[in-house]
Structure 1
Amino acid sequence: MAKEVTVEEKLRALYDLQLIDSRIDKIRSIRGELPLEVEDLEDEIGGLETRVEKLNVDIDELDQEVKAKKNLIKDSEEKIKKYESQQKNVRNNREFDALSKEIEFQELEIQLAEKRIKEFKAKIDNKKEAIAGADEKLAERKSHLEFKKSELDSILKETQEEEDLLLKESTKQQKVIEERLLKAYTRLRNSARNGLAVVPVERGASGGSFFTIPPQRQLEIAARKKIITDEHSGRILVDPELAREEEEKMEKLFTSKK
Protein backbone atom coordinates (compact mmCIF):
# COMPACT_ATOMS: atom_id res chain seq x y z
CA MET A 1 0.00 0.00 0.00
CA ALA A 2 1.11 3.54 -0.78
CA LYS A 3 2.12 5.57 2.23
CA GLU A 4 -0.56 8.06 3.28
CA VAL A 5 0.57 11.68 3.01
CA THR A 6 0.19 13.53 6.30
CA VAL A 7 -1.24 17.03 6.63
CA GLU A 8 2.19 18.27 7.68
CA GLU A 9 3.74 16.87 4.51
CA LYS A 10 1.01 18.54 2.46
CA LEU A 11 1.71 21.87 4.20
CA ARG A 12 5.43 21.53 3.59
CA ALA A 13 4.85 20.71 -0.10
CA LEU A 14 2.50 23.69 -0.49
CA TYR A 15 4.90 26.08 1.20
CA ASP A 16 7.82 24.76 -0.87
CA LEU A 17 5.77 25.37 -4.02
CA GLN A 18 4.96 28.88 -2.81
CA LEU A 19 8.66 29.62 -2.20
CA ILE A 20 9.59 28.33 -5.66
CA ASP A 21 6.84 30.29 -7.42
CA SER A 22 7.68 33.43 -5.45
CA ARG A 23 11.29 33.06 -6.54
CA ILE A 24 10.12 32.83 -10.18
CA ASP A 25 7.97 35.94 -9.64
CA LYS A 26 10.99 37.80 -8.30
CA ILE A 27 13.11 36.84 -11.32
CA ARG A 28 10.37 37.99 -13.70
CA SER A 29 9.90 41.25 -11.81
CA ILE A 30 13.57 42.07 -12.48
CA ARG A 31 12.70 42.20 -16.17
CA GLY A 32 9.82 44.52 -15.39
CA GLU A 33 8.12 45.83 -18.50
CA LEU A 34 11.13 45.21 -20.74
CA PRO A 35 9.65 42.28 -22.75
CA LEU A 36 6.49 44.32 -23.43
CA GLU A 37 8.53 47.40 -24.31
CA VAL A 38 10.57 45.35 -26.80
CA GLU A 39 7.40 43.87 -28.30
CA ASP A 40 5.76 47.31 -28.59
CA LEU A 41 8.85 48.75 -30.27
CA GLU A 42 8.99 45.84 -32.73
CA ASP A 43 5.31 46.37 -33.57
CA GLU A 44 5.83 50.12 -34.01
CA ILE A 45 8.86 49.55 -36.26
CA GLY A 46 6.88 47.03 -38.32
CA GLY A 47 4.07 49.59 -38.70
CA LEU A 48 6.48 52.34 -39.76
CA GLU A 49 8.21 50.06 -42.27
CA THR A 50 4.83 49.10 -43.76
CA ARG A 51 3.91 52.78 -44.00
CA VAL A 52 7.19 53.66 -45.76
CA GLU A 53 6.70 50.75 -48.15
CA LYS A 54 3.17 51.93 -49.00
CA LEU A 55 4.36 55.53 -49.49
CA ASN A 56 7.05 54.32 -51.89
CA VAL A 57 4.44 52.32 -53.84
CA ASP A 58 2.26 55.47 -53.99
CA ILE A 59 5.21 57.51 -55.28
CA ASP A 60 5.92 54.89 -57.97
CA GLU A 61 2.28 55.06 -59.06
CA LEU A 62 2.36 58.87 -59.14
CA ASP A 63 5.60 58.79 -61.17
CA GLN A 64 3.82 56.56 -63.68
CA GLU A 65 0.94 59.06 -63.81
CA VAL A 66 3.42 61.91 -64.45
CA LYS A 67 5.08 59.86 -67.17
CA ALA A 68 1.69 59.12 -68.79
CA LYS A 69 0.74 62.82 -68.77
CA LYS A 70 4.09 63.80 -70.30
CA ASN A 71 3.50 61.25 -73.07
CA LEU A 72 0.02 62.70 -73.57
CA ILE A 73 1.54 66.21 -73.89
CA LYS A 74 4.05 64.92 -76.42
CA ASP A 75 1.27 63.27 -78.45
CA SER A 76 -0.84 66.45 -78.34
CA GLU A 77 2.10 68.59 -79.47
CA GLU A 78 2.69 66.26 -82.41
CA LYS A 79 -0.99 66.42 -83.31
CA ILE A 80 -0.92 70.22 -83.16
CA LYS A 81 2.05 70.28 -85.55
CA LYS A 82 0.23 67.90 -87.88
CA TYR A 83 -3.00 69.97 -87.80
CA GLU A 84 -1.10 73.24 -88.36
CA SER A 85 0.63 71.65 -91.35
CA GLN A 86 -2.75 70.46 -92.71
CA GLN A 87 -4.20 73.97 -92.35
CA LYS A 88 -1.76 75.15 -95.03
CA ASN A 89 -3.37 72.87 -97.56
CA VAL A 90 -7.10 73.30 -96.79
CA ARG A 91 -9.52 74.01 -99.58
CA ASN A 92 -12.11 76.00 -97.62
CA ASN A 93 -12.84 77.79 -94.36
CA ARG A 94 -14.87 74.89 -92.97
CA GLU A 95 -11.84 72.55 -93.10
CA PHE A 96 -9.63 75.29 -91.58
CA ASP A 97 -12.09 75.85 -88.69
CA ALA A 98 -12.36 72.12 -88.03
CA LEU A 99 -8.56 71.84 -87.76
CA SER A 100 -8.47 74.94 -85.55
CA LYS A 101 -10.93 73.27 -83.16
CA GLU A 102 -8.73 70.15 -83.07
CA ILE A 103 -5.69 72.33 -82.29
CA GLU A 104 -7.62 74.14 -79.55
CA PHE A 105 -8.72 70.80 -78.06
CA GLN A 106 -5.14 69.50 -78.00
CA GLU A 107 -3.94 72.75 -76.37
CA LEU A 108 -6.57 72.26 -73.65
CA GLU A 109 -5.42 68.67 -73.21
CA ILE A 110 -1.85 69.96 -72.73
CA GLN A 111 -2.98 72.54 -70.17
CA LEU A 112 -4.98 69.95 -68.23
CA ALA A 113 -2.09 67.44 -68.34
CA GLU A 114 0.36 70.11 -67.07
CA LYS A 115 -2.02 70.94 -64.23
CA ARG A 116 -2.30 67.27 -63.28
CA ILE A 117 1.49 66.87 -63.40
CA LYS A 118 1.86 69.74 -60.90
CA GLU A 119 -0.70 68.06 -58.62
CA PHE A 120 1.06 64.70 -58.88
CA LYS A 121 4.46 66.27 -58.16
CA ALA A 122 3.04 68.08 -55.11
CA LYS A 123 1.70 64.76 -53.82
CA ILE A 124 5.07 63.12 -54.48
CA ASP A 125 6.83 65.86 -52.49
CA ASN A 126 4.38 65.42 -49.60
CA LYS A 127 4.91 61.67 -49.58
CA LYS A 128 8.70 62.06 -49.75
CA GLU A 129 8.48 64.40 -46.78
CA ALA A 130 6.38 61.81 -44.92
CA ILE A 131 8.96 59.12 -45.76
CA ALA A 132 11.79 61.33 -44.45
CA GLY A 133 9.87 61.80 -41.18
CA ALA A 134 9.10 58.09 -40.92
CA ASP A 135 12.73 57.16 -41.71
CA GLU A 136 13.94 59.51 -38.97
CA LYS A 137 11.47 57.98 -36.53
CA LEU A 138 12.46 54.47 -37.66
CA ALA A 139 16.14 55.15 -37.02
CA GLU A 140 15.33 56.45 -33.54
CA ARG A 141 13.02 53.52 -32.72
CA LYS A 142 15.52 50.95 -34.03
CA SER A 143 18.27 52.47 -31.91
CA HIS A 144 15.95 52.39 -28.89
CA LEU A 145 14.98 48.78 -29.65
CA GLU A 146 18.63 47.74 -29.92
CA PHE A 147 19.29 49.26 -26.49
CA LYS A 148 16.22 47.62 -24.92
CA LYS A 149 17.03 44.23 -26.47
CA SER A 150 20.57 44.46 -25.19
CA GLU A 151 19.25 45.28 -21.73
CA LEU A 152 16.74 42.42 -21.86
CA ASP A 153 19.29 39.93 -23.24
CA SER A 154 21.65 40.82 -20.40
CA ILE A 155 18.94 40.15 -17.81
CA LEU A 156 17.82 36.95 -19.55
CA LYS A 157 21.39 35.71 -19.67
CA GLU A 158 21.62 36.15 -15.91
CA THR A 159 18.21 34.73 -15.00
CA GLN A 160 16.81 32.46 -17.76
CA GLU A 161 18.69 29.33 -16.74
CA GLU A 162 17.66 29.70 -13.10
CA GLU A 163 14.05 30.40 -14.10
CA ASP A 164 13.91 27.32 -16.35
CA LEU A 165 15.23 25.13 -13.53
CA LEU A 166 12.77 26.63 -11.06
CA LEU A 167 9.87 26.11 -13.46
CA LYS A 168 10.80 22.42 -13.69
CA GLU A 169 11.02 22.31 -9.90
CA SER A 170 7.60 23.98 -9.62
CA THR A 171 6.07 21.41 -12.00
CA LYS A 172 7.75 18.61 -10.05
CA GLN A 173 6.43 19.98 -6.75
CA GLN A 174 2.88 20.31 -8.13
CA LYS A 175 2.82 16.58 -8.88
CA VAL A 176 3.13 15.67 -5.20
CA ILE A 177 0.21 17.91 -4.18
CA GLU A 178 -3.31 16.53 -4.44
CA GLU A 179 -5.43 18.12 -7.16
CA ARG A 180 -7.93 19.72 -4.76
CA LEU A 181 -5.22 21.58 -2.84
CA LEU A 182 -3.35 22.51 -6.01
CA LYS A 183 -6.49 24.09 -7.50
CA ALA A 184 -7.07 26.05 -4.29
CA TYR A 185 -3.43 27.17 -4.29
CA THR A 186 -3.59 28.26 -7.96
CA ARG A 187 -6.86 30.13 -7.40
CA LEU A 188 -5.44 31.97 -4.37
CA ARG A 189 -2.22 32.83 -6.20
CA ASN A 190 -4.06 34.21 -9.19
CA SER A 191 -6.32 36.39 -7.04
CA ALA A 192 -3.52 37.75 -4.83
CA ARG A 193 -1.68 40.82 -6.11
CA ASN A 194 1.61 39.56 -4.69
CA GLY A 195 0.99 35.93 -5.70
CA LEU A 196 1.02 34.65 -2.11
CA ALA A 197 -1.33 31.72 -1.47
CA VAL A 198 0.53 30.09 1.44
CA VAL A 199 1.88 32.33 4.22
CA PRO A 200 3.37 31.79 7.69
CA VAL A 201 1.95 33.22 10.89
CA GLU A 202 4.01 36.28 11.80
CA ARG A 203 3.67 38.05 15.17
CA GLY A 204 0.28 36.45 15.74
CA ALA A 205 -1.15 37.45 12.34
CA SER A 206 -1.35 36.03 8.84
CA GLY A 207 1.81 36.95 6.88
CA GLY A 208 1.34 40.38 5.33
CA SER A 209 -1.89 40.97 7.26
CA PHE A 210 -2.78 43.07 10.30
CA PHE A 211 -5.61 40.82 11.43
CA THR A 212 -4.66 38.93 14.59
CA ILE A 213 -5.25 35.17 14.68
CA PRO A 214 -6.81 33.92 17.96
CA PRO A 215 -4.36 31.96 20.20
CA GLN A 216 -6.41 28.76 19.96
CA ARG A 217 -6.28 29.00 16.14
CA GLN A 218 -2.51 29.52 16.28
CA LEU A 219 -2.18 26.33 18.34
CA GLU A 220 -4.17 24.42 15.72
CA ILE A 221 -1.90 25.78 12.96
CA ALA A 222 1.21 24.77 14.93
CA ALA A 223 -0.22 21.27 15.45
CA ARG A 224 -0.18 20.70 11.64
CA LYS A 225 -3.15 18.33 11.85
CA LYS A 226 -5.36 20.09 9.29
CA ILE A 227 -5.24 22.68 6.51
CA ILE A 228 -6.22 26.03 8.01
CA THR A 229 -6.92 29.19 6.03
CA ASP A 230 -6.98 32.83 7.02
CA GLU A 231 -10.60 33.90 7.41
CA HIS A 232 -9.89 37.33 5.90
CA SER A 233 -7.71 36.53 2.87
CA GLY A 234 -8.40 32.82 2.39
CA ARG A 235 -4.66 32.08 2.31
CA ILE A 236 -3.36 28.78 3.62
CA LEU A 237 -1.52 29.25 6.91
CA VAL A 238 1.62 27.50 8.18
CA ASP A 239 3.36 27.91 11.52
CA PRO A 240 6.60 29.95 11.75
CA GLU A 241 8.81 26.97 12.59
CA LEU A 242 7.67 24.96 9.56
CA ALA A 243 8.14 28.06 7.39
CA ARG A 244 11.68 28.60 8.69
CA GLU A 245 12.66 24.97 8.07
CA GLU A 246 11.30 24.99 4.51
CA GLU A 247 12.85 28.39 3.73
CA GLU A 248 16.28 27.10 4.80
CA LYS A 249 15.80 23.95 2.72
CA MET A 250 14.65 25.86 -0.37
CA GLU A 251 17.40 28.47 -0.01
CA LYS A 252 19.93 25.66 -0.38
CA LEU A 253 18.07 24.52 -3.49
CA PHE A 254 18.01 28.04 -4.95
CA THR A 255 21.72 28.52 -4.26
CA SER A 256 22.57 25.23 -5.95
CA LYS A 257 20.63 26.23 -9.08
CA LYS A 258 22.36 29.57 -9.60
Structure 2
Amino acid sequence: MAKKTDVTVEEKLRALYDLQLIDSRIDEIRNVRGELPLEVEDLEDEVAGLNTRVKKLEAELEVSDNDIKSKKILIDDSKAAIKKYSEQQKNVRNNREFNALSKEVEFQELEIELAEKHIKEYRAQIEQKKEIIAQTQERLTDREKHLAHKKGELDAILAETQKEEEMLMQKSNEFEGQIEARLISAYKRIRNNVKNGLAVVPVERGASGGSYFTIPPQVIVEISGRRKIITDEHSGRILVDEDLAKEEQEKMSSFFSKI
Protein backbone atom coordinates (compact mmCIF):
# COMPACT_ATOMS: atom_id res chain seq x y z
CA MET A 1 0.00 0.00 0.00
CA ALA A 2 1.37 3.43 -0.96
CA LYS A 3 2.37 5.82 1.78
CA LYS A 4 0.45 9.07 2.17
CA THR A 5 3.45 10.95 0.75
CA ASP A 6 3.35 8.73 -2.42
CA VAL A 7 -0.32 9.44 -3.10
CA THR A 8 -0.93 11.52 -6.23
CA VAL A 9 -2.67 14.89 -6.10
CA GLU A 10 -5.64 13.40 -7.96
CA GLU A 11 -5.97 10.65 -5.35
CA LYS A 12 -5.81 13.26 -2.60
CA LEU A 13 -8.54 15.29 -4.31
CA ARG A 14 -10.74 12.23 -4.72
CA ALA A 15 -10.23 11.24 -1.08
CA LEU A 16 -10.97 14.80 0.08
CA TYR A 17 -14.13 14.99 -2.02
CA ASP A 18 -15.27 11.57 -0.81
CA LEU A 19 -14.65 12.72 2.76
CA GLN A 20 -16.72 15.83 2.04
CA LEU A 21 -19.60 13.74 0.66
CA ILE A 22 -19.55 11.52 3.75
CA ASP A 23 -19.38 14.45 6.18
CA SER A 24 -22.19 16.22 4.30
CA ARG A 25 -24.32 13.10 4.66
CA ILE A 26 -23.59 13.09 8.41
CA ASP A 27 -24.55 16.78 8.53
CA GLU A 28 -27.88 15.95 6.83
CA ILE A 29 -28.61 13.26 9.42
CA ARG A 30 -27.82 15.62 12.27
CA ASN A 31 -29.92 18.35 10.69
CA VAL A 32 -32.90 15.96 10.74
CA ARG A 33 -32.47 15.75 14.51
CA GLY A 34 -32.14 19.52 14.55
CA GLU A 35 -32.58 21.05 17.98
CA LEU A 36 -34.31 17.96 19.41
CA PRO A 37 -31.36 16.77 21.56
CA LEU A 38 -31.02 20.26 23.07
CA GLU A 39 -34.80 20.49 23.59
CA VAL A 40 -34.78 17.13 25.38
CA GLU A 41 -31.82 18.20 27.53
CA ASP A 42 -33.51 21.51 28.45
CA LEU A 43 -36.76 19.70 29.32
CA GLU A 44 -34.88 17.16 31.46
CA ASP A 45 -33.22 20.04 33.34
CA GLU A 46 -36.58 21.78 33.80
CA VAL A 47 -38.26 18.59 35.07
CA ALA A 48 -35.37 17.98 37.49
CA GLY A 49 -35.65 21.59 38.72
CA LEU A 50 -39.41 21.31 39.25
CA ASN A 51 -38.99 18.02 41.14
CA THR A 52 -36.37 19.65 43.36
CA ARG A 53 -38.70 22.59 44.01
CA VAL A 54 -41.60 20.30 44.98
CA LYS A 55 -39.38 18.32 47.38
CA LYS A 56 -38.09 21.55 48.94
CA LEU A 57 -41.62 22.89 49.44
CA GLU A 58 -42.80 19.57 50.89
CA ALA A 59 -39.87 19.63 53.32
CA GLU A 60 -40.84 23.18 54.32
CA LEU A 61 -44.43 21.98 54.87
CA GLU A 62 -43.17 19.31 57.22
CA VAL A 63 -41.17 21.91 59.16
CA SER A 64 -44.25 24.13 59.43
CA ASP A 65 -46.35 21.16 60.64
CA ASN A 66 -43.73 20.39 63.29
CA ASP A 67 -43.66 24.07 64.31
CA ILE A 68 -47.44 23.99 64.79
CA LYS A 69 -47.16 20.84 66.90
CA SER A 70 -44.46 22.50 69.03
CA LYS A 71 -46.62 25.59 69.54
CA LYS A 72 -49.62 23.42 70.50
CA ILE A 73 -47.47 21.63 73.10
CA LEU A 74 -46.34 25.04 74.38
CA ILE A 75 -50.01 26.15 74.63
CA ASP A 76 -50.92 22.98 76.58
CA ASP A 77 -47.96 23.54 78.90
CA SER A 78 -48.96 27.18 79.43
CA LYS A 79 -52.59 26.19 80.19
CA ALA A 80 -51.36 23.62 82.71
CA ALA A 81 -49.13 26.27 84.29
CA ILE A 82 -52.04 28.74 84.47
CA LYS A 83 -54.19 26.11 86.17
CA LYS A 84 -51.38 25.36 88.62
CA TYR A 85 -50.77 29.07 89.42
CA SER A 86 -54.50 29.72 89.77
CA GLU A 87 -54.76 26.88 92.31
CA GLN A 88 -51.75 28.24 94.18
CA GLN A 89 -53.38 31.69 94.36
CA LYS A 90 -56.10 30.18 96.52
CA ASN A 91 -53.56 29.34 99.20
CA VAL A 92 -51.36 32.46 99.22
CA ARG A 93 -50.44 34.08 102.53
CA ASN A 94 -50.08 37.66 101.29
CA ASN A 95 -50.61 40.02 98.35
CA ARG A 96 -46.98 39.78 97.26
CA GLU A 97 -47.31 36.04 96.59
CA PHE A 98 -50.68 36.59 94.88
CA ASN A 99 -49.26 39.31 92.61
CA ALA A 100 -46.23 37.15 91.75
CA LEU A 101 -48.51 34.28 90.71
CA SER A 102 -50.72 36.72 88.78
CA LYS A 103 -47.65 37.83 86.79
CA GLU A 104 -46.84 34.17 86.05
CA VAL A 105 -50.41 33.63 84.84
CA GLU A 106 -50.22 36.80 82.70
CA PHE A 107 -46.90 35.65 81.21
CA GLN A 108 -48.36 32.25 80.30
CA GLU A 109 -51.42 33.90 78.74
CA LEU A 110 -49.10 36.04 76.58
CA GLU A 111 -47.18 32.88 75.62
CA ILE A 112 -50.48 31.30 74.54
CA GLU A 113 -51.47 34.39 72.56
CA LEU A 114 -48.10 34.52 70.83
CA ALA A 115 -48.16 30.77 70.08
CA GLU A 116 -51.66 31.04 68.59
CA LYS A 117 -50.48 33.96 66.43
CA HIS A 118 -47.54 31.87 65.20
CA ILE A 119 -49.84 28.89 64.49
CA LYS A 120 -52.06 31.17 62.41
CA GLU A 121 -49.00 32.38 60.46
CA TYR A 122 -47.73 28.83 59.93
CA ARG A 123 -51.14 27.71 58.66
CA ALA A 124 -51.24 30.63 56.21
CA GLN A 125 -47.74 29.68 55.01
CA ILE A 126 -48.85 26.05 54.65
CA GLU A 127 -51.85 27.03 52.52
CA GLN A 128 -49.65 29.25 50.36
CA LYS A 129 -47.05 26.49 49.93
CA LYS A 130 -49.75 23.92 49.12
CA GLU A 131 -51.04 26.22 46.38
CA ILE A 132 -47.51 26.65 44.98
CA ILE A 133 -46.96 22.87 45.15
CA ALA A 134 -50.21 22.26 43.24
CA GLN A 135 -49.19 24.78 40.56
CA THR A 136 -45.68 23.30 40.36
CA GLN A 137 -47.05 19.75 40.14
CA GLU A 138 -49.35 20.82 37.32
CA ARG A 139 -46.41 22.39 35.50
CA LEU A 140 -44.30 19.30 36.22
CA THR A 141 -46.94 16.96 34.77
CA ASP A 142 -47.17 19.10 31.64
CA ARG A 143 -43.36 19.23 31.22
CA GLU A 144 -43.05 15.46 31.80
CA LYS A 145 -45.62 14.77 29.07
CA HIS A 146 -43.82 17.17 26.72
CA LEU A 147 -40.48 15.53 27.57
CA ALA A 148 -41.87 12.05 26.89
CA HIS A 149 -43.18 13.26 23.52
CA LYS A 150 -39.87 14.87 22.53
CA LYS A 151 -37.88 11.85 23.72
CA GLY A 152 -40.15 9.64 21.62
CA GLU A 153 -39.45 11.82 18.58
CA LEU A 154 -35.71 11.74 19.22
CA ASP A 155 -35.63 7.99 19.87
CA ALA A 156 -37.52 7.37 16.62
CA ILE A 157 -35.06 9.49 14.64
CA LEU A 158 -32.09 7.87 16.36
CA ALA A 159 -33.47 4.41 15.63
CA GLU A 160 -33.62 5.33 11.95
CA THR A 161 -30.31 7.14 11.66
CA GLN A 162 -27.93 6.07 14.42
CA LYS A 163 -26.61 2.96 12.65
CA GLU A 164 -26.08 4.90 9.42
CA GLU A 165 -24.38 7.77 11.26
CA GLU A 166 -22.04 5.39 13.10
CA MET A 167 -21.04 3.70 9.85
CA LEU A 168 -20.51 7.05 8.16
CA MET A 169 -18.42 8.30 11.07
CA GLN A 170 -16.28 5.17 10.83
CA LYS A 171 -15.85 5.72 7.07
CA SER A 172 -15.06 9.40 7.65
CA ASN A 173 -12.30 8.42 10.08
CA GLU A 174 -10.95 5.91 7.56
CA PHE A 175 -10.74 8.57 4.86
CA GLU A 176 -9.09 11.00 7.25
CA GLY A 177 -6.47 8.35 7.91
CA GLN A 178 -5.68 8.21 4.20
CA ILE A 179 -5.08 11.95 3.88
CA GLU A 180 -2.07 13.82 5.20
CA ALA A 181 -2.57 15.76 8.42
CA ARG A 182 -1.90 19.15 6.80
CA LEU A 183 -4.76 18.71 4.32
CA ILE A 184 -7.13 17.35 6.97
CA SER A 185 -6.36 20.34 9.16
CA ALA A 186 -7.08 22.73 6.27
CA TYR A 187 -10.26 20.80 5.38
CA LYS A 188 -11.60 20.98 8.95
CA ARG A 189 -10.70 24.66 9.27
CA ILE A 190 -12.61 25.50 6.08
CA ARG A 191 -15.60 23.38 7.16
CA ASN A 192 -15.77 25.25 10.44
CA ASN A 193 -15.62 28.62 8.68
CA VAL A 194 -18.45 28.08 6.18
CA LYS A 195 -22.15 27.87 7.00
CA ASN A 196 -22.98 24.74 5.01
CA GLY A 197 -19.83 22.82 6.00
CA LEU A 198 -18.69 22.49 2.37
CA ALA A 199 -14.89 22.61 2.30
CA VAL A 200 -14.44 20.79 -1.03
CA VAL A 201 -16.67 21.85 -3.94
CA PRO A 202 -16.78 21.19 -7.68
CA VAL A 203 -16.48 23.83 -10.37
CA GLU A 204 -19.97 24.46 -11.78
CA ARG A 205 -20.61 26.71 -14.80
CA GLY A 206 -17.27 28.41 -14.40
CA ALA A 207 -17.65 29.15 -10.67
CA SER A 208 -16.96 27.26 -7.45
CA GLY A 209 -19.99 25.32 -6.18
CA GLY A 210 -22.41 27.58 -4.34
CA SER A 211 -20.53 30.73 -5.39
CA TYR A 212 -21.32 33.49 -7.88
CA PHE A 213 -17.68 34.39 -8.39
CA THR A 214 -16.35 33.12 -11.72
CA ILE A 215 -13.01 31.33 -11.90
CA PRO A 216 -10.50 32.40 -14.58
CA PRO A 217 -10.31 29.90 -17.50
CA GLN A 218 -6.60 29.23 -16.85
CA VAL A 219 -7.39 28.24 -13.24
CA ILE A 220 -10.19 25.93 -14.44
CA VAL A 221 -7.66 24.23 -16.74
CA GLU A 222 -5.30 23.79 -13.75
CA ILE A 223 -8.12 22.32 -11.63
CA SER A 224 -8.98 19.86 -14.42
CA GLY A 225 -5.30 18.87 -14.61
CA ARG A 226 -5.47 17.58 -11.03
CA ARG A 227 -1.79 18.26 -10.45
CA LYS A 228 -2.10 20.54 -7.42
CA ILE A 229 -4.54 21.50 -4.68
CA ILE A 230 -6.29 24.72 -5.72
CA THR A 231 -8.53 26.80 -3.48
CA ASP A 232 -11.16 29.38 -4.34
CA GLU A 233 -9.70 32.84 -3.71
CA HIS A 234 -13.05 34.15 -2.43
CA SER A 235 -14.26 31.37 -0.11
CA GLY A 236 -11.04 29.45 0.54
CA ARG A 237 -12.75 26.18 -0.43
CA ILE A 238 -10.77 23.40 -2.10
CA LEU A 239 -11.82 23.03 -5.75
CA VAL A 240 -12.26 19.89 -7.83
CA ASP A 241 -13.31 19.59 -11.46
CA GLU A 242 -16.87 18.65 -12.39
CA ASP A 243 -15.99 15.28 -13.92
CA LEU A 244 -14.10 14.12 -10.83
CA ALA A 245 -17.01 15.28 -8.66
CA LYS A 246 -19.57 13.34 -10.72
CA GLU A 247 -17.46 10.18 -10.63
CA GLU A 248 -17.07 10.35 -6.84
CA GLN A 249 -20.74 11.24 -6.33
CA GLU A 250 -21.78 8.11 -8.25
CA LYS A 251 -19.32 5.99 -6.29
CA MET A 252 -20.44 7.35 -2.92
CA SER A 253 -24.15 7.15 -3.85
CA SER A 254 -23.65 3.44 -4.38
CA PHE A 255 -21.94 3.20 -0.98
CA PHE A 256 -24.70 5.18 0.78
CA SER A 257 -27.43 2.99 -0.72
CA LYS A 258 -25.87 -0.09 0.87
CA ILE A 259 -25.85 1.32 4.41
TM-score (ref. length: structure 2): 0.98
Task: Name the structure 1 match of 2:38.
Answer: 36
Task: Name the structure 2 match of 1:223.
Answer: 225
Distance 1:38 1:131 in 2: 24
Q: Is there any run of 5+ residues in structure 2 with no aligned partner, and where?
A: none
- Taking the TM superposition and a 5 Å limit, the aligned residue runs for 1:16-165 are 16-165=18-167
Distance 1:207 1:116 in 2: 77
Deviations 1:20-63 (CA, angstroms, capped at 9, x unpaired): 00000000000111110000000000000001011011111111
Deviations 1:122-167 (CA, angstroms, capped at 9, x unpaired): 1111111111010000000000011101111111111100000000
Q: Percent identity between the aligned chains?
A: 67
Distance 2:60 2:254 in 1: 64
Distance 1:135 1:17 in 2: 50
SS state of the match for residue 201, structure 1?
strand
> Out of 187, 190, 202, which is 2:189 matched to?
187
Distance 2:7 2:171 in 1: 20
Distance 1:121 1:27 in 2: 56
Distance 1:101 1:30 in 2: 81
> Out of 15, 28, 36, which is 1:13 matched to?
15
Distance 2:143 2:97 in 1: 68
Please report the RMSD computed on the Cα atoms of aligned residues, expressed in angstroms.
0.9
Task: Name the structure 2 match of 1:199.
Answer: 201
SS state of the match for residue 199, structure 1?
strand
1:84 CA drift (Å): 0.5
Distance 2:140 2:160 in 1: 30
Task: Name the structure 2 match of 1:253.
Answer: 255
1:2 CA drift (Å): 4.0
- 4+ residue runs of structure 1 moved beyond 6 angstroms? none
SS state of the match for residue 16, structure 2?
helix
1:93 CA drift (Å): 1.0
Distance 2:150 2:183 in 1: 40
Q: Which amino acid aligns with 1:118?
A: K
Distance 1:29 1:181 in 2: 26
1:205 CA drift (Å): 0.3
Task: Name the structure 1 match of 2:171.
Answer: 169
Q: Which amino acid aligns with 2:16?
A: L
Q: Which amino acid aligns with 2:141?
A: A
Distance 1:159 1:208 in 2: 27
Q: Which amino acid aligns with 1:239?
A: D
Distance 1:101 1:180 in 2: 94
Deviations 1:61-112 (CA, angstroms, capped at 9, x unpaired): 1111111100000000000000000011111111111111100000000000
Q: Is there any run of 5+ residues in structure 1 with no aligned partner, and where?
A: none
Q: Which amino acid aligns with 1:110?
A: I
SS state of the match for residue 175, structure 1?
helix
